[in-house]
Homo-oligomer: A and B are copies of this chain.
Amino acid sequence: MKKTTIEEQKKVELNNPILIEGFPGLGMVGSIATKYLIKELKAEKVGTMYSPHFPYHVIVNKKGGVRLLRAEFYALKNESGKNDFIFLTGDSQAQTIEGQFEVANTILDFAEEKNVKTIITIGGYRNEFERKPKIVAVSTTPELFEQAKKAEALPSEAGTPIVGTAGLLLGLAKFRNVDALCLLGETKGYLPDPKTAKGIIEVLQKMLEITVDLKGLDKDIEKSKQILGRMQDIEKRRAKYMQNIKKVEEEKITYIS
C-alpha cells in the first residue's frame, strides 16, 4: 500500500446516495454522531479505506487480533425516502498536509464513482459555553445551506477555519460534480462530547428523511456530565490554590514598592 486505497467489500445498488462523513476531531463530535447513526440505523459495512498517511501504528482487537488504522464506509438503503446513504467514519485523520489532500481526494473519487451528489461532513468547533450547544452550517451551495438553516442550524461566522477532512471535502468538492455541507457543533473539545453529537443528529433528522432513536446517546451524555463535573471540581480547587499563592506574592510586593 503506497497510497490511500479503498477496498470494497460489498457492491450495493444505491439510489441518489448522500455521503455523511464524521472523522475524529474536536470533542469527537463527527465520529460519535456518525458511529451512532451507523449503529442505530443498522447501516451495512461496504468498504474500508487504508492510508500510509494515517499514524504508523496498529490497534489491538478484542480477541488478540490486530489491524491497521482505517476508515470505514457503511451503506443504508432508505426505502421510505428519496435518498440512500453512505456513512464514512474512521480511527484517525491523515497526519501530514499532503496526506490530508490525498485522503480527501480519494474520498471524493469514491463518492463520484457511487454517483453521490451531496456530501455532509460533521465536526466540532471549540467554545466555552454553558447552554445547549449551537450547530452551525457552511456549504458549497446556497440550496444545501438553506436546508440546514430550516433544520435549525445557524450560519457560521465568516472567517472561521475548518480544519481537516470535514473542511477539505467541501473545499475540494467545487472541483467535482458534487455539493457539500458541513455541520459543526459547538464543543469544549477536550472530552468526547455526545451532547453536541446529539445536536448534530437532531439537525440531520430534520434535514433528511431519517428517524433515529436518541436514547442511547442520552446515557452517554449523562456519563460524560459526571466526568466533567469531577474535572471541574479539581480545576476549581487548583484555581483557588493558585490565587492564594498570588495573594501572598502581591502582599509582599505591595509592602516593598
Residues of A that sit less than 8 Å from B by CB: 1-2, 52-69, 95-102, 105, 137-140, 142, 145, 155-164, 167-168, 170-172, 174-175, 182, 241, 244-245, 247-249, 251-253, 256-257
Contact B56 A97 (CB under 8 A): yes
Instruction: Tell which of A138, A163, A256 has the most Cβ of chain B within 10 Å.
Output: A138
Q: A172 — which chain B residues lie within 8 A by C-beta?
A: 1, 68
Alpha-carbon gap, A241 to B244, bound state (A): 17
B60 touches A162 (CB 8 A): yes
Contact among B1, B57, B97 with A52 in the assembled complex (CB-CB below 8 Å) = B97
Query: B1, B171, B245: which contacts A253 (Cβ < 8 A)?
Result: B245
**Which residues on B sit within 8 Å (CB–CB) of A105?**
1-2
Can you name the residue of chain B whose Cβ is closest to the Cβ of A64? B145
User: Sorted from nearest, which 9 A-B pairs have the closest CB atoms?
Assistant: A68-B171, A56-B100, A52-B101, A58-B167, A58-B171, A57-B163, A57-B161, A60-B160, A64-B145
CB contact under 8 A between A98 and B167, given known A138-B60, A248-B253, A253-B244: no
A158 pairs with B61, CB closer than 8 A: yes
CB neighbours (8 Å) of A168 from chain B are 56-58, 68
CB < 8 Å: which of B55, B142, B167, B253 contacts A66?
Answer: B167
Given contacts A56-B167, A66-B140, A244-B253, 6 further A-B contacts (CB under 8 A): A55-B97, A60-B158, A61-B138, A66-B162, A67-B174, A248-B256
Most buried by B among A66, A138, A157: A66
Contact of B162 with A57 in the complex, beta carbons under 8 Å: yes
CA distance A137 to B67 in the complex (A): 14
Chain B residue with the shortest CB-CB distance to A70: B171
Asked if A170 and B98 make an inter-chain contact with CB atoms under 8 angstroms apart, the answer reads no
Considering the complex, give the chain B residue whose CB is closest to the CB of A68: B171
Report B-chain residues with C-beta under 8 Å of the C-beta of A101.
1-2, 52, 56
Cα A163 to Cα B137 with chains together (Å): 37
A172-B1, A248-B252 known; A160+B68 contact, CB < 8 A: no
List 19 A–B pairs whose Cβ atoms lie within 8 Å, in order of A's numbering: A1-B101, A1-B172, A52-B97, A52-B98, A52-B101, A52-B102, A54-B97, A56-B163, A57-B163, A59-B161, A60-B158, A62-B158, A63-B155, A64-B145, A65-B140, A66-B140, A66-B162, A68-B168, A245-B249
